[in-house]
Structure 1
């Protein structure tokens, strides 16, 4: 996994492109080649209107050798930084990195009590994340996830080249109560004295010495994956900010926090946060939990997943408090003391009707808190009775006379931070109307393989996990019976494929020797040699994912055929929508990996189809075929 950008070159080289009037066209060409689509007009306008204002300062102050990286993709998601300058630190000669966030705004006003701003007459939705918070988020993520920068000089600046000083003053850190690095992030406006201050800051910080070498080293540097969600739980419970949230994730957190203030005035709203796998929904949930705990507010985190909730209990490590904070959806049938905030994570697992009450389960959760927050992905509904849809939540809130505020997440934090893989899986499984399976286009940040046997898959994953000192798990469709542990403390090899036999994860809540209960299969090292199912994989992540397609979903005559008779999950045995549920199931299983995925189907025709889509092929020993 490495960093990538749209353009890399010295300030002098970039100045020549700008002088020739070719900047926007050159960046558009590179964008189409990289992303397979045209950039938005707003992006092109930003390139043409802002980049030259930074290059002019570099060229006018003897910094023509400083390397300029345009549209550098953040190391843990697909958010892109406007401009990153790379050179030597003046005092030490070591690598120095300056993140510059460009804004063409001329007018802005703070949204008091938040780290948000309102930008009048600008395209897009208001309010927006404060630019200093946005820039500092990029600084943090570079420091936290690029080991070579952890002891280096990394700073963030905001270039507001159209903004009058009087307007800029209203959103400076002291006036808007910004915190931490955002408060220390310098912002520069349009007046000559502002541009001079910007230039002085750059010249005091940067030198062009060794800039090319440092930029080359940065773009080829190792990137560590994001901290595991589960290992961060204990920090969140204690009220600490855990993750360097970027752009829309940070905006979502600030937006929800603002609703707490509004609820004090009697303006209760329901917040709906929607996003696909790895867009940071659970990270946002834990960050909100940390913020509420820090402010000594009454807060609870609820899910419909037994595995996910019990794992949260385990990793929080303080059982009584954890069990009070981390709860199930069905824990709110009666409300004795209203919460300040209820965070309903994985809300796609909500059920339409709550047993024994007159309210729906959604209605119960809305009643339980001043600010109810629902986080969901509609494509993760995998069993009958789960009905947590956007429409259900919106309709229930409207019936209860509450406004619904919706946030849609785009940036991917899982799957190498690249949404292309998730889109490819959705197209493969026929979950995108009108878009059939397409050939795989190799990505820099994510690896995809097809194995000829489950044994080859296992050998490859074990080797990858050892080489990278990371986690790997194999999961499968629920196409084999699932037995309880034997009396002698061993597990039956239920998953049997042509002489390759492995046990499912432990059935039950007790340890079996060194093998963890099913709720810890995805996160405890002892789960590595068992096969996980949808109920133990959903909601979790690991570095390397292996996915076994069972005979319940096969490829025939140019399309998928679902066969409920081949599925052993009691929860779906009478499901009228099994075809939809089983394709969602394999989507979930195939989007757990952070670095790469290996696919295999027990059906030869299906595995042949997967192998013909362009993924890299493994041989029978789990070795890459034709590595060149």
Structure 2
């Protein structure tokens, strides 16, 4: 409080940043310290909280690059240890609005515009959840986490925009206090902290070992046991046991192990990855599931939660750019799914050197699940060669395993090989046929195809329509399923909605069309695939056309310049990205795939190929 009164608090924090090697603070951060901590001092000024009570500012949260704005530690009248976790915001009510169709999301003024972000109560609660789940000192000393959000500029006349039924799952866990709530916030903190805590310091919490607590371990075990979808069979079980063995070995002997797991579409890569994550957590090894693509993370969180609030396991799933600044071997294990989608630069600001290197560096054990034929973006660098290169550079032992069995497409390896042959990705022995238990059909009318897929979905078989990214995803229609992005004659549909429930399993998704980014790494019973104008058939050959892609799709961004400078290399990349995109889309179905082609010649080519195997064609 004296530092704030003397206008020295920002200087003190900056010197702490320098002393601890955190890096430089941005002007916005410095401004927020000067503003928000003035209001925090006002809350504490006349309170009965003892003067010697410990506080922490910008407390580093385990397993993330995030920091808690303000923490305060003490005891209540009953002698319980309480740690307040406070999220401070300078938001104002006039520029904030509730988002009622998305879990824990709100709109406010950020970066010069009104943008979606996480609700402050969700932020405070999720930060406390991470600390509770992984900090051994918190578990051993039985410290209660007390999260809350304080919006000191937010007038109470706009309370319903921030504190309403939509956000109740989080505001009940982390109450929100506004500008006129100084007295009630002070009273709340006084009820939690009435005596100085002398046995445990915040520094003890900060330096504690990270290990998943027993409650989290038990919860994950129960989730998997109650969900048959996560049962392992055949080579899946072999890979799982070996991965767990390598993780234990690396953490017991303080060595570094890397495992590459190869597997084509439908071999169960993600199911195995989730099982490894859960088992390592149950064994007390702090672990995270990593993927560049958000879609599989969101879907498998939803499937795994087993009645829990999905956000309660949110911190186990993270993006591939999370380890730019992570110290070597800080984490016992990282499980990288869809590793073929990894990039060099780790975020929108171009930070990071290489995501493969960063993951291997951060963990004692890292597993990479990969299918090199699913590279669908010009920036995708994930390959066995790149993983081996960085494993060697970082002194890791490398092992490679393969998932052999094919579970998608009615167990038919032949169908995937047939698709490879049809798309001229590679010559295969399945040019003229595959397992006929798989239902593949060709349609002349996209509406009829969509209707058939919708009928399958209505019968209880999860079915969706997906398409190549060949139609613009207009900004004004991204939250509106009645806004038509895709038009093919009389057929008019909306691209997948932006946010909300995971598109792949949301009930309303059957009336929309998904793209590669919403379905890669996922599967349906039946998949309807619209092959757009980026894939054609000319003069007896499959032809790719990058001009057929929408400008809102960034998967071939920069290829025009490459065509001028390195035309041969650019051509290879265009072929690879477009063909791999359709290979991936055409292999999303467990029981069947229904196809419509925008290019007439391609449709006739497919009709001839399907005629050889007596598959169904529809008019």
3-state DSSP of counterpart to 2:492:
strand
1:280 equivalent in structure 2? 268
Tell me the equivalent position of 1:574.
558
Aligned equivalent of 1:457:
449
Q: Give the aligned partner of residue 415 of structure 2.
A: 421
Asked if residue 484 in structure 1 is aligned to residue 478 in structure 2, the reply is no
Distance 2:394 2:450 in 1: 51
1:2-50, Cα deviation, whole Å (9 max, x unpaired): xxxxxxxxxxxxxxxxxxxxxxxxxxxxxxxxxxxxxxxxxxxxxxxxx
* Aligned pairs for 1:35-434 within 5 A: 236=220, 240-241=224-225, 242=227, 243-263=230-250, 264-315=252-303, 316=305, 317-335=308-326, 338-354=330-346, 359-432=353-426, 434=427
Assess, with a 3 A threshold, how the Cα gap between structure 1 residues 441 and 302 changes in structure 2: closer, same or farther: closer
Q: Cα distance 1:616–1:364, how it changes in 2: closer, same or farther (>3 A)?
A: same
Deviates more, 1:568-577 or 1:253-262: 568-577
Segments of structure 2 that go 5 or more residues without pairing to the other structure are 1-216, 560-569
Measured at CA, do residues 269 and 319 of structure 1 come closer, stay the same or move farther in structure 2, by a change above 3 Å? Answer: same
**Larger CA deviation: 235-244 vs 532-541:** 235-244
Count of equivalent residues: 376
Structural RMSD (CA) = 2.5
Q: Which moved more, 1:530-539 or 1:356-365?
A: 356-365
Deviating beyond 6 angstroms after TM superposition, the runs of 4 or more aligned structure 1 residues are: none
Measure how far apart 1:522 and its partner are: 1.1
CA contact (8 A) 1:428 1:437 kept: no
> What is the SS of the residue equivalent to 2:504?
coil
1:543 alignment partner, SS class: strand
For 1:457 and 1:234, locate their aligned partners in 2 and report how far apart those are by CA, in whole Å.
45
Do the aligned residues in 2 keep the contact of 1:271 with 1:406 (CA within 8 Å)?
Answer: yes
Q: Deviations over 1:114-145 (max 9, x none)?
A: xxxxxxxxxxxxxxxxxxxxxxxxxxxxxxxx
- Change beyond 3 A, Cα 1:490–1:370: closer
Q: CA deviation at 1:358?
A: 6.4
Q: Deviations over 1:358-394 (max 9, x none)?
A: 6421111012211111111111110111100010000
Deviation at 1:318, TM superposition (A): 3.6
Displacement, 1:616? 2.5
| Match status 1:617 vs 2:616 | yes
Instruction: From the superposition, tell whether residues 537 and 490 of structure 1 become closer, same or farther in structure 2 (CA, over 3 Å).
Output: closer
Residue number in structure 2 paired with 1:35? none
Counterpart in 1 of 2:545?
563
CA distance in 1, matches of 2:487, 2:248: 56
Q: Provide the residue aligned with 1:534 in structure 2.
A: 516
CA distance, structure 1, for counterparts of residue 360 and residue 277 of structure 2: 17
Residues 589, 237 of structure 1: alpha-carbon distance in 2 compared, 3 angstrom cutoff: farther
Between stretches 276-285 and 484-493, larger displacement belongs to: 484-493
- Aligned residue for 2:436? 443
Whether 2:570 is the aligned partner of 1:586: answer no
Query: Offset at 1:592?
Result: 0.5
Instruction: Compute the TM-score of the two structures, normalised by the length of structure 2.
Output: 0.57
Query: Contact 2:320–2:346 (CA<8 Å) still a contact in 1?
Result: no
**Would the aligned equivalents of 1:239 and 1:293 in 2 still touch at CA under 8 Å?**
no
